[in-house]
Amino acid sequence: MPATIVTGLQWGDEGKGKVVDHLSEDAVAVARFSGGANAGHTVISAGRRIALHQLPSGLLRPGVLGIIGAACVLDPVSLVREMGSLEDEGFNVGDRLTISGKVHLVHPAARYMEREQERQLGEASVGTTGRGIGPTYVRKYERRGLRLEDAAVPEAFRDRSLGVMEESISGLGLGEEDREALERETEEFMKCTLDLVNRASDVSMVISRILRSGGTVIAEGAQGTLLDPDHGTYPFVTCGSCVSGAACVSLGLGPVMIDEVVGVMKAYNTRVGNGPFPTELNDETGERIREKGNEYGATTGRPRRCGWFDGVLASYSARLNGCSWTVLTLLDVLSGFPELMVCKKYELDPGIDLTLFETGARLEYHVPVFETLPGWEEDITGETSWDVLPENARNYVMFLEKLTGVSVRAISTGPAREDLIWRT
């Protein structure tokens, strides 16, 4: 059976973890194909809120294998801690986790590098999570990176790890306190990497065998399309590719092995960090959405910027990813709003419609043109029936469906696993 890709259609935080959790119920494996410790996928299981950063969401399902692809960047220390936390919650990881030996490692020095880079950029800073993702990708493409498979030769790996540390201490001019901290962190980094190297494998071969035997594999993306370095709001983007096509590269799959692409989008828009956001609400309405939706980063805890649904961006992302169908999340957050606004197109100057979509510097000057839709007062939290939804809620979903040109097959109405409507 071919694979299914799950990817975010906005700036991340769309609720991909819950969607993957549902789809993985009958899957053999869930494979993360992008991102690193900067990701935050949250699933509520049996009343417990589980936030995953590097581990595939499928590990919350008994017997499902977890796979981390080659294009991810791996923080060994954070991963070992995350595995321990999951075990403490009663989820046995055991031998269910496989990691590509080609995955690049986030050396602790990368966080010091990133902190200094953001400081130097000042007001022009990207607003990163501070997890060292960017510098790790830089070393990767400079062909100086450390990969998990390098730890198969421990002494050589140790020499190279210490070399990165010394290079950073010298290049950044670290003071004594930071230098001593980095030395301790590097020792822990090396220890955790050596603990993980026995999980290194050829994930392309692992996935190929599962698919050939008729099993299902869910490819789980991180962040969102609008944070993709090629197709997102550059330069305010992440460094790893977030679009569906990246799954083939990271997991070593040919495109013909992909059966469908599932896009996940919120019923409104949010983003973390700096960068353009045409429909942002810097008012009481935006604050109300933030509080009702608990819009604070699972990784950083930072408050997310909130705004109305952007149909231009959603249509762009759905087309770019080749979505077969979509999941709309957090519809329940919009209960109680008398009116809802949806961006249906942009204008650059009054009266001038844009036909060429841009994601670069000019996007911040685009003026959203809104359609006003009636809201609904009823609390729909936990609703599982499409027919029981208020008429205005159903009309809102169908309006977004028309804008994106892709069917909304499922609707999340709350944080719990069971708070989901499936449309036939």
- Taking the CA atoms of residue 343, residue 345, residue 348 and residue 353 in that order, the dihedral angle to the nearest 10 degrees is -160
SS (H, E, C) the chain: CCEEEEEECCCCCCCHHHHHHHHHHHCCEEEECCCCCCCCEEEEECCEEEEECCCCHHHHCCCCEEEECCCCEECHHHHHHHHHHHHHCCCCCCCCEEEECCCEECCCHHHHHHHHHHHHHHHHCCCCCCCCHHHHHHHHHCCCCCEHHHHHCHHHHHHHHHHHHHHHHHHHCCCHHHHHHHHHHHHHHHHHHHHHHHHEECHHHHHHHHHHCCCCEEEECCCCHHHCCCCCCCCCCCCCCCCCHHHHHHHCCCHHHEEEEEEEEECCEEECCCCCCCCECCCHHHHHHHHHCCCECCCCCCECEEECEEHHHHHHHHHHHCCCEEEEECHHHHCCCCEEEEEEEEEEECCEECCCCCCCHHHHHCEEEEEEEECCCCCCCCCCCCCCCCHHHHHHHHHHHHHHCCCEEEEECCCECCCEEECC
Please pick, among 21, 22, 26, 41, the residue that the annotation labels catalytic: 41
Please pick, among 13, 75, 150, 332, the residue that the annotation labels catalytic: 13
Active-site residue 13, yes or no? Answer: yes
Between CA 129 and CA 115 the distance in angstroms is 10
Q: Structure tokens of 344?
A: 């249906």
Q: What residues act catalytically?
A: 13, 41
